[in-house]
């Protein structure tokens, strides 16, 4: 199979004496179809070639030697080189490659031999699973699947928030009012009520806050009473979380919490003492990061001897380096923790780890979820719970389907309702804040999950109507040269590139937008071409393209965590 992108890169590299791999890395697929199939932004070459991007583009265009069988047109536009691939070779190469790989189309081995940890979801026990947790859960699961598809050995970790002063507060609340709450039903809702109540009291009475801190110190030191209450909270929470994970079809390779690493905090203290970076400050132990460009010190241990988030997270890094020998250790956590992770990653340099483990630390942050009325807060009891959101979405799909003659309406409503929520969450750029609006989340028209599911179902329906899948030797490329078919083939050809870009930027929305593009292009093809027709050669060719589209759409949606029903 000819790698068209590599062939173009080879021709450029010969002219400018630049590594082919670097040219390939710089090349991109233009967002606008009329800008070609591949584009080289020449400003990326300006520094090493010591010329303006416009001059570079013009010179390469005039000097490049590449067969017209591969590229039929080259344009130099404002410092960009746009390449238009010959449609004959494009159709042939894409269909033959797909036929060879079929359901494995998109799979790559660029991550072979590399270990990637993706830490995501990570809810706090004894608190509701709200839509803020949904973002990390869905982004993390999508990234886990993307890395896996690209051949990485991927480890998905749910790092539970099961330790810290807040549990000292919860224990204090339980001591005071535990007999007022029946935790046999809706336990998280009642623990949340207890938390809001004790948090308010802590604000009003400093002595209550001090008692909460003492409870946590006792918990760390193995106090049985505090430990038993904490275990009860954890057990109740995990049961409730698992209900949500089951609905979303989320699975983890490892589930562990901060408590697991609290016992390993001494290893962090010893390493930092050995490096000479640990300092005393008002009774606490800190690392001064001024020399690393951060003016806020990183607190490692409190003045009362208790561990803190930082000491537990640093212990986690040491443990993961030894246990998983990771190449990347990705944390999918909101943007409000940016400074914290900058601190942690700087301190990690002083733990005595190999450099690759420090360089492999990566904070994949995302924007906050806000209500139309403002920011959510568990402390204020102002959150939207994920279970309520999913139930509401499924219910609305059921209402839409009332008049439709569809079997298994319950199953279809579940797949479409949950798909709508997932797609909505992953469609926008992850770094942007998301204002939660029921009307937007459950809008099933336009660039939505239900639309993309529907187009996939349409492909299934066409294949079912035909009652056969054509053999590759019956596909005639000349019947796939209309503009609509070419657009579908071009989009399918970009699937592998799309997955790589989504991985490189840790950005699921790149894949989500690709799915919309492929669905829209196939819809145009379907509307402008009769697929089931009298001419069997035409039918076979269009059927095979429909099959290709179905496979790629369904696979891409599955990577995001979205299932496709058989009927809609």
Q: Return the pLDDT at 248.
A: 96
Query: What is the CATH classification number for the domain harbouring 394?
Result: 1.10.730.10
Q: What is the token pair recorded at 231? A: 């275990």
Among the candidates 63, 85, 107, a domain finishes at: 85
Closest-CA residue to 513 (of 443, 451, 438): 451
93 found inside a domain: no
Tokens (6 digits) for 507: 């950005």
Is position 96 within any domain? no
Same domain, 348 and 205: yes
Tell me, yes or no, whether 272 and 127 share the same domain: yes
Q: Total structural domains in the chain?
A: 3
Q: Do 327 and 439 sit in the same domain of this protein?
A: no
Per-residue burial over 199-230, b = 16 or more CB atoms within 10 Å of its CB, e = otherwise = bebbeeeeebbebbbbbbbbbbeebeebbebb
If one counts every other C-beta atom within 10 angstroms of the C-beta of residue 560, the result is 24
**Residue with structure tokens 């919490």?**
257
C-alpha 225/C-alpha 331 separation (Å) is 33
Assigned domain for 161 exists: yes
Residue 127: per-residue pLDDT: 85
| Together in a domain, 360 and 391 | no
Are 390 and 366 in a shared domain?
no
Indicate if 275 and 208 belong to the same structural domain: yes
Residues whose CB falls within 8 Å of the CB of residue 85, separated by 6 or more in sequence, listed in order: 4, 36, 37, 38, 70, 71, 72
The domain that holds 57 is classified in CATH as: 3.30.1360.70
Encode pLDDT of 308-357 as tens digits: 899 999 999 999 999 999 999 999 999 999 999 999 999 999 999 999 99
The whole domain housing 19 covers: 4-85
Residues 147 and 274 in one domain: yes
* Whether residues 364 and 402 fall in one domain: no
- The per-residue pLDDT for 373 is 63
Classify residue 532 by its DSSP letter: S
Measured CA to CA, the distance from residue 460 to residue 463 in angstroms comes to 5
Residues 290 and 431 in one domain: no
Q: Are 21 and 47 in contact (CB under 8 A)?
A: no
User: Is position 377 within any domain?
Assistant: no
**Domain presence at residue 130:** yes
Q: How far apart are CA 12 and CA 42, in angstroms?
A: 11
pLDDT at 372: 66
Question: Do the domain assignments include residue 114?
Answer: no
42: three-class secondary structure by DSSP: coil
Cβ-based burial of 17 (10 A; exposed 0-12, middle 13-18, buried ≥19): exposed
The last residue of one of the domains, among 346, 371, 396, is 371
CATH number at residue 134: 3.40.50.620
- Residue 380 C-alpha from the chain's centroid: 29
Instruction: Say yes or no: 320 and 429 in one domain.
Output: no
Shared domain for 390 and 355, answered yes or no, is no
Chain centre to alpha carbon of residue 544: 31
Residue bearing tokens 């179905």: 550
DSSP class of residue 117 equals E
Output DSSP code: residue 367: P
Where the chain has pLDDT below 70, the residues are 1, 371-383, 438, 441-444
Asked if the structure places residue 115 within a domain, the reply is no
Contact 193, 378 (CB under 8 A): no
The tens digit of pLDDT for each residue in 203-225 reads: 999 999 999 999 998 998 899 99
Whether 308 is covered by a domain: the verdict is: yes
pLDDT score of 246: 95
In this structure, are 125 and 56 located in the same domain? no
């Amino acid at each position: 199979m000819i790698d068209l992108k590599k062939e173009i890169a080879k021709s450029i590299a010969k002219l400018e004496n630049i590594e082919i791999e670097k040219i390939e890395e710089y090349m991109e697929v233009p967002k606008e179809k009329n800008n070609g199939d591949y584009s080289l932004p020449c400003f990326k070459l300006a520094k090493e070639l010591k010329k303006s991007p416009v001059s570079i583009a013009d010179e390469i265009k005039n000097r490049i030697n590449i067969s017209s069988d591969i590229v039929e047109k080259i344009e130099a536009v404002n410092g960009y080189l746009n390449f238009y691939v010959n449609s004959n070779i494009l159709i042939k190469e894409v269909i033959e490659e797909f036929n060879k790989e079929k359901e494995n189309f998109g799979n790559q081995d660029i991550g072979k031999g590399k270990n990637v940890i993706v830490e995501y979801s990570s809810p706090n026990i004894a608190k509701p699973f709200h839509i803020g947790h949904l973002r990390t859960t869905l982004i993390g699961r999508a990234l886990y699947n993307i890395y896996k598809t690209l051949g990485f050995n991927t480890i998905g970790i749910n790092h539970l928030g099961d330790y810290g002063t807040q549990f000292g507060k919860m224990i204090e609340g339980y001591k005071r009012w535990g007999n007022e709450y029946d935790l046999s039903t809706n336990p998280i809702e009642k623990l949340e009520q207890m938390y809001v109540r004790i948090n308010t009291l802590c604000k009003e009475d400093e002595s209550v806050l001090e008692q909460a801190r003492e409870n946590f110190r006792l918990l760390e030191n193995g106090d049985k009473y505090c430990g038993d209450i904490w275990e009860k909270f954890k057990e109740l929470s995990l049961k409730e979380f698992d209900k949500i994970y089951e609905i979303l079809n989320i699975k983890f390779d490892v589930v562990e919490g901060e408590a697991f690493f609290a016992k390993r905090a001494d290893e962090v203290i010893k390493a930092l003492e050995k490096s000479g970076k640990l300092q005393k400050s008002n009774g606490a132990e800190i690392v001064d990061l001024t020399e690393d460009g951060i003016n806020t010190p990183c607190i490692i241990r409190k003045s009362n001897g208790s561990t803190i988030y930082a000491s537990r997270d640093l212990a986690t890094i040491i443990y993961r380096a030894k246990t998983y020998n990771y190449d990347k250790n990705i944390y999918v956590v909101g943007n409000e923790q940016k400074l914290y992770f900058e601190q942690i990653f700087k301190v990690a340099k002083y733990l005595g780890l190999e450099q690759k483990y420090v360089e492999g630390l990566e904070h994949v942050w995302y924007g906050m979820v806000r209500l139309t009325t403002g920011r959510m807060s568990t402390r204020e009891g102002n959150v939207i719970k994920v279970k309520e959101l999913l139930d509401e979405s499924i219910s609305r799909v059921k209402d839409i389907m009332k008049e439709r003659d569809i079997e298994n309406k319950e199953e279809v409503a579940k797949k479409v309702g949950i798909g709508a929520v997932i797609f909505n969450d992953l469609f926008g750029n992850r770094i942007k804040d998301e204002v939660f609006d029921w009307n937007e989340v459950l809008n099933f028209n336009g660039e939505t999950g239900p639309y993309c599911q529907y187009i996939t179902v349409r492909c299934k329906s066409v294949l079912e109507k035909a009652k056969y899948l054509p053999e590759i030797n019956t596909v005639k490329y000349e019947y796939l040269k209309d503009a609509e078919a070419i657009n579908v083939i071009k989009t399918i050809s970009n699937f592998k590139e799309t997955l790589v870009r989504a991985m490189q930027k840790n950005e699921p929305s790149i894949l989500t937008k690709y799915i919309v593009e492929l669905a829209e292009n196939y819809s145009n093809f379907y509307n402008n071409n009769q697929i089931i027709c009298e001419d069997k050669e035409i039918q076979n060719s269009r059927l095979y393209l429909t099959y290709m589209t179905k496979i790629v759409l369904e696979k891409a949606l599955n990577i995001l965590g979205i299932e496709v029903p058989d009927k809609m």
